[in-house]
Structure 1
Amino acid sequence: MLFEDMNEPLPYLANLQSVADADALLAAHGADAGTEAAIRAERSRDLGNAVQFCHWRQIERLIVLLTSGDVVGTVH
């Protein structure tokens, strides 16, 4: 599985805004959406905004998950 190989935790989705942000980045940046999320996370960290840093890191992980095509977690 993708996240087991990468030793990455599954993304934590605090609310639907996380999915909307990931979708907006995918629509605007395509294959570079994950990179854009990482850039936004780094910018937030540089500004001292830990909450937004964590938000954009989770978005980055979500984008990786959405674009991987792998099935992760429990399938019902």
Structure 2
Amino acid sequence: MQAMFINGRGALDDAHRLIDTYGDDAGFEAAILAEQSRSDGNVVRFCHWRQIERVIATLASDEVHGSIH
């Protein structure tokens, strides 16, 4: 997996809000929001929600990625 890029605190806040609201289904909800944004033609929001989906998957993973210091 490549290094995770997180575009500011707002991205983490959105991920946290979805996890609090949807629990294990938070990633699915982020995917739904991404698809809605794509359907609306909003590329920026589509990319945002896809990033949130990846952040949620990373937070839920037990695997270690990158270097350990």
TM-score, scaled relative to structure 1:
0.83
Name 2:68's counterpart in structure 1: 75
- C-alpha separation between the residues in 2 aligned to 1:29 and 1:75? 30
- C-alpha separation between the residues in 2 aligned to 1:66 and 1:32? 13
Among all aligned residue pairs of Structure 1 and Structure 2, give the percentage whose two residues are the same amino acid: 48
Indicate the RMSD between aligned Cα atoms, in angstroms.
Answer: 1.2
Q: When the two structures are aligned, how many residues end up with a matched partner?
A: 69
- C-alpha separation between the residues in 1 aligned to 2:23 and 2:40? 26
Matched, 1:64 2:57: yes
Equivalent residue runs for 1:46-61 within 5 Å: 46-61=39-54
* SS in structure 2 of the partner of residue 40 of structure 1: helix
Letter in structure 2 aligned against 1:73: G
Gaps of 5+ in 1: 4-8
Letter in structure 2 aligned against 1:35: F
Give the ranges of 4+ consecutive aligned residues of structure 1 lying more than 3 Å apart after TM superposition: none
- Offset, 1:13: 0.9
Gaps of 5+ in 2: none
TM-score, scaled relative to structure 2:
0.91
